[in-house]
């Protein structure tokens, strides 16, 4: 079934150089898997009707990116629609408590960009079913202010495999949850443009989007 996704990439804080590659990757996934993609950095897009989108993707957004009206619209939408946060989406809307509750955790810090091992804890999800039990990847290995609670953890960090981890054994990196009748998916991966050329990561991203959009 055809559906439509909104990709939002506005930044008022740190801006990732990988954003153009990320948008191109989601457009490519849409072209290959039967969904349409609108991409914007305009906060006014959230003051319009969001119900035509099966999922809204915050892709490496940062800082305060929504107007008060946009916040209200997004809050209403997430009670019935799909929300996907990618990488720096966890560095977004710190002044809005609802957003932190929606996403599940807020970014605290990260060590140097480096290779490491991710432990795939749940392969019964479209974002992880294709992955090995131990996923070798290169990224920033985000630490969060606190581990998310009340979520389904899909992937965690093996802090023994890289330098600078600060959360210990309870270190989720990918998770999902329900929000009313809506769905929320978050992945901390996706820092570098190279990630969006990686077939495993692209399939991971696709699975998260399709799950949030209730297309799987």
How many other C-beta atoms can be found within 10 angstroms of the C-beta atom of residue 83? 23
Residue 67 pLDDT exceeds 80 = yes
Segment 113-170, tens digit of pLDDT: 999 999 999 999 999 999 999 999 999 999 999 999 999 999 999 999 999 999 999 9
Task: Grade residue 1 by pLDDT with cuts at 50, 70 and 90.
Answer: low
Cα–Cα distance for residue pair 188/41, rounded to 1 Å: 20
Cα–Cα distance for residue pair 85/81, rounded to 1 Å: 13
Opening angle at CA 130, ends 128 and 136, nearest 5: 80
* 143-144 and 182-187 strand pairing: unpaired
pLDDT averaged over every residue in the chain = 97
Segment 93-104, tens digit of pLDDT: 999 999 999 999
Residue 39 pLDDT exceeds 70 = yes
pTM: 0.98
Cα–Cα distance for residue pair 20/197, rounded to 1 Å: 12
Cα–Cα distance for residue pair 5/182, rounded to 1 Å: 14
Segment 168-195, tens digit of pLDDT: 999 999 999 999 999 999 999 999 999 9
How many other C-beta atoms can be found within 10 angstroms of the C-beta atom of residue 124? 8
**Average confidence (pLDDT) over 73-80:** 97
Encode burial over 46-68: b for 16+ CB neighbours within 10 A, e otherwise.
bbeebeebbbbbbbbbbbbbbee
Task: Grade residue 48 by pLDDT with cuts at 50, 70 and 90.
Answer: confident
Closest Cα partner for 72 from 94, 104, 96, 54?
96
Percentage of the chain exceeding pLDDT 90: 97
Instruction: Give the E-state strand segments of the chain in sequence order.
Output: 3-8, 35-40, 55-59, 82-86, 107-109, 114-120, 134-139, 143-144, 152-158, 172-179, 182-187
Question: What is the Cβ-side half-sphere exposure of residue 186, based on CA atoms within 13 angstroms?
Answer: 33
Task: Grade residue 4 by pLDDT with cuts at 50, 70 and 90.
Answer: very high
pLDDT of residue 140: 98
**Average confidence (pLDDT) over 82-90:** 98
pLDDT of residue 88: 98
């Amino acid at each position: 079934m055809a559906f439509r996704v909104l990709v939002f990439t506005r930044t008022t804080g740190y801006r990732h150089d990988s954003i153009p590659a990320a948008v191109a990757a989601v457009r490519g996934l849409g072209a290959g898997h039967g969904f349409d993609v609108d991409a914007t950095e305009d906060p006014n897009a959230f003051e319009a009707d969001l119900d035509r989108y099966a999922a809204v993707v915050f892709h490496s957004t940062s800082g305060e990116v929504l107007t008060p009206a946009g916040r209200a619209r997004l809050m209403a939408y997430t009670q019935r629609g799909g929300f996907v946060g990618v990488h720096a989406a966890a560095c977004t809307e710190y002044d809005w408590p609802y957003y932190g509750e929606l996403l599940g955790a807020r970014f605290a810090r990260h060590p140097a960009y480096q290779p490491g091992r991710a432990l795939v804890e749940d392969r019964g999800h479209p974002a992880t079913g294709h992955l090995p039990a131990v996923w070798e990847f290169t990224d920033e290995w985000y630490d969060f202010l606190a581990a998310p609670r009340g979520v389904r953890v899909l992937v965690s960090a093996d802090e023994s495999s890289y330098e600078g981890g600060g959360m210990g054994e309870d270190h989720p990196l990918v998770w999902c949850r329900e929000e009313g009748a809506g769905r929320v998916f978050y992945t901390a991966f996706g820092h570098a443009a190279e990630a969006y050329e990686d077939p495993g990561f692209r399939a991971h991203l696709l699975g998260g989007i399709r799950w949030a959009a209730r297309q799987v």
